[in-house]
Chain A
Amino acid sequence: MLSKRIIPCLDVRDGKTTKGIKFLNNIDIGDPVAMARRYYEEGADELVFYDITASSDRRNIMIDVVRRVAREIFIPFSVGGGIRTLEDMREVLLAGAEKVSVNTAAIQNPPIIAEGARIFGSQCIVLGMDVKKVNPTTKIPSGYEMVIHGGRTPMGIDALWWALEGERLGAGEICLNSIDADGTQEGYELTLTRMISEAVSIPVIASGGAGRPVHLAEVLTEGKADAALIASMIHYGTYTIKAIKEYLDQKHVPMRLTW
């Protein structure tokens, strides 16, 4: 039986792991390569790196991080943040990432999903979605809207429609982030996650809101997610991946426990 995946997420700025709430007040919390190695040894099933570097040579800094991470860990990892072109994708994949996550560029230029899938394979292309709850309208019938710029810019696109469109274009997986839940540590957005996961046939990674192990249990059962992203709850040593996995195992969530 396929195990549900536990995926630590590392936000990387200027080559350092950082963590902020709702994309604000970021503080450095460590070296991404050392953290990746530690999470790999502690039983992470996969890793996600999100590049939030603002400087002009951001690409080089991140590629260097990806290259060094790839030498240290032998599980899949994806890289997102600022992936805009097929060349960006190629660079990150050749540096050693298994997948690239495309978010803003996919909304602004949907063919990049199809072209990326055709050239690199669907399994490489993750559709990153930042979603905000709104009042349902004829334009946003699901009541969940696509947003960019950390939630500051609504796009007038229905999240459910966009997930299905992303799958149709060839995305191999969806990383679904609730802007409302992100950083709160009060639990994932279960309604949104379940709605999207039941609608598509590709795997869905739930993101935003993890604070306690029970939140992962909820999103991986009720929320129907295939994987759960975690950050703060392990970055500050509040929990270990092992403890989270053992808890989920007790709750009968299928987990990889031998590593």
Chain B
Amino acid sequence: MVVVIDYQAGNITSVVRSLRALGVDSTVTEGPEEVLRARRVIFPGVGAAGEAMATLKRRGLDIALQEVFSRNMPILGICLGAQIVLDYSEENDTPCLGLIPGRTRALPRGPGLKIPHMGWNRVDFRGSHPVFAGLPPTAEYYFVHSFFPEPREAAMVLGITEHGMAFPSALGSKNLVATQFHPEKSGRYGLKILENFLAWDGSYAE
């Protein structure tokens, strides 16, 4: 069972629809019990870190996510879901889930640099993670965000994107992968990432 976690952080219907286009029915849940029963978890989300963490805690989803992470279940974080898996977010000065050591920081501002970083951009993938296999180097992915995840360990950065600075746009540690971009809105190659995730057994040697 593929579970998509709904914690009132934006619209998750596009994730569900993308999975359906790949022939997979998913269960949307707001409760920790269903997360603990899942075979695979997708953790999407847009919005602010403070409110998102408050909702996760209120529903016991923070504990459930930490539990499934320790059980080696494949987890995919998307956008805000790639940020609050770190220890801390500068956004609303928020302590986060701590699945990956590191911090979420604000993108730099500067003349002519639009914030949010909104639109299509390349990802320079590193390493050979199975979830990011089979993607042409010139493919682009859809981003919309003002903060970015910064893992403490460079080995956990699986992709880099440029917007005013080079920032980590894909992360991976053990059975968790996460993308700052939205694979569900990134056309054919975004769907390819979701398809790879659905086939992934959760193992990755860093």
Enumerate chain A interface residues (CB-CB to B < 8 A).
1-5, 40, 45, 70-71, 74-76, 93-94, 96, 98, 120-124, 172-173, 201-203, 224, 226-227, 256-259
Q: Are B186 and A121 in contact (CB under 8 A)?
A: no
Q: Give the Cβ gap from A252 to chain B, nearest Cβ, in Å.
A: 16
Q: Are B14 and A70 in contact (CB under 8 A)?
A: yes
Contacts of B162 in A (CB 8 A): 1
Say whether, besides A2-B120, A45-B120, A74 and B21 are in contact (CB < 8 Å): yes
Q: How many residues in B have their beta carbons less than 8 Å from beta carbons of A?
A: 38
Contacts of B188 in A (CB 8 A): 74, 259
Contacts of A124 in B (CB 8 A): 10-11
Q: Are B13 and A94 in contact (CB under 8 A)?
A: yes
Smallest Cβ-Cβ distance to A43: which chain B residue: B187
Q: Are B11 and A75 in contact (CB under 8 A)?
A: no
Contacts of B10 in A (CB 8 A): 120-121, 123-124
Contacts of A74 in B (CB 8 A): 14, 18, 21, 184-188, 190-191
Digitize B5-39: 1 where CB-to-A-CB distance is under 8 Å, 0 elsewhere: 00000110110011001000000000000000000
Q: Are A70 and B17 in contact (CB under 8 A)?
A: yes
User: Does any Cβ of A come within 8 Å of B163's Cβ?
Assistant: yes
Say whether, besides A121-B46, A256-B120, A76 and B11 are in contact (CB < 8 Å): no
User: Does any Cβ of A come within 8 Å of B115's Cβ?
Assistant: yes
| Given A123-B46, A203-B118, 13 further pairs, Cβ under 8 A | A2-B117, A2-B120, A3-B140, A71-B17, A74-B187, A75-B186, A120-B11, A172-B116, A201-B114, A202-B114, A203-B116, A256-B120, A258-B136
Smallest Cβ-Cβ distance to B8: which chain A residue: A119
Q: Please provide the 9 A-B residue pairs with the shortest distance between their CB atoms, ordered closest to farther.
A: A258-B138, A256-B140, A256-B120, A3-B120, A123-B144, A258-B139, A121-B47, A203-B114, A2-B121
Q: Give the Cβ gap from A173 to chain B, nearest Cβ, in Å.
A: 7
Sample (22) of A-B pairs whose CB atoms are under 8 Å apart: A5-B119, A45-B119, A70-B13, A74-B185, A74-B190, A75-B142, A75-B185, A75-B187, A76-B142, A93-B11, A94-B11, A120-B10, A122-B116, A201-B113, A202-B114, A203-B116, A203-B119, A256-B120, A256-B140, A257-B138, A258-B136, A258-B139
With most chain B CB atoms within 10 A of its CB, the pick from A75, A94, A120, A226 is: A75
Within 8 A of A (CB), among B112-134: 112-122
With most chain B CB atoms within 10 A of its CB, the pick from A1, A3, A45, A74 is: A74
